[in-house]
Structure 1
Amino acid sequence: MKVFWLIIFVWNIITFAIMGIDKYKATHEKWRIKERTLFLLSFLLGGIGVFCGMYIFHHKTKHISFKVLVPLAVFTNILSLYFLHKILSINHF
């Protein structure tokens, strides 16, 4: 169970870093990460990292789609993690 939470933690650090990388690329006029990729990362249990990255790096905070979908992703991530935790606790994996 501890490994599971460690994986989730590391994944969110990675999604946080990806937001920082995209912000760097935006300010240096380099090739960017697609918005749909950022949304996909958010909904694949990386919502907390993307959300924190949005506000720490001040990146994509003016986009209405990010203001709505990333918090929605965080909410669905929390629900998913809650149910996964319950399932894993019951089966003692």
Structure 2
Amino acid sequence: MPGYIYLICYAIIINLMAAISTVVDKHRAARHRWRIPESRLLFFAALGGSPAMLFTMLLIRHKTRHAKFMIGIPVILLAQCVVLYFGLQLFQ
């Protein structure tokens, strides 16, 4: 069971990074300042931050008009859930 602690810590950290990046990008957009590239936001989602990013996007209404995000993030999340499910099946 101790090996799962690293996975849980990683998930917490990457989800925090994804949520914070989304909030910072929204804040900068409102002030017409330099923005976080969309590729970086999607990269954080692909690394495992998709749950927090999707929740944050909907909560603060950021990137909700962009199909790349409103379709892409849920697809990434679904793919990650499938990989996690089958990955856990291998260790049982």
User: Partner residue of 2:65?
Assistant: 62
Alignment partner of 2:20 out of 11, 17, 20: 17
Across the aligned residues of Structure 1 and Structure 2, the Cα RMSD in angstroms comes to 1.5
My pick for the range that moved more, 45-54 or 18-27, is 45-54
Residues 1:5 and 2:20 aligned together: no
Report if aligned partners of 1:25, 1:32 keep a CA contact under 8 Å in 2. yes
Moved over 6 A (4+): none
Taking structure 1 as the reference length, what is the TM-score of the superposition?
0.83
Alignment partner of 1:46 out of 45, 49, 56: 49
CA offsets per residue over residues 42-61 of structure 1, 9 Å max, x none?
A: 11111112111111111000
What is the Cα deviation at residue 33 of structure 1? 0.8
Identity, % of aligned positions: 24
Residue identity in the other structure for 2:29: A
What is the Cα deviation at residue 86 of structure 1? 4.0
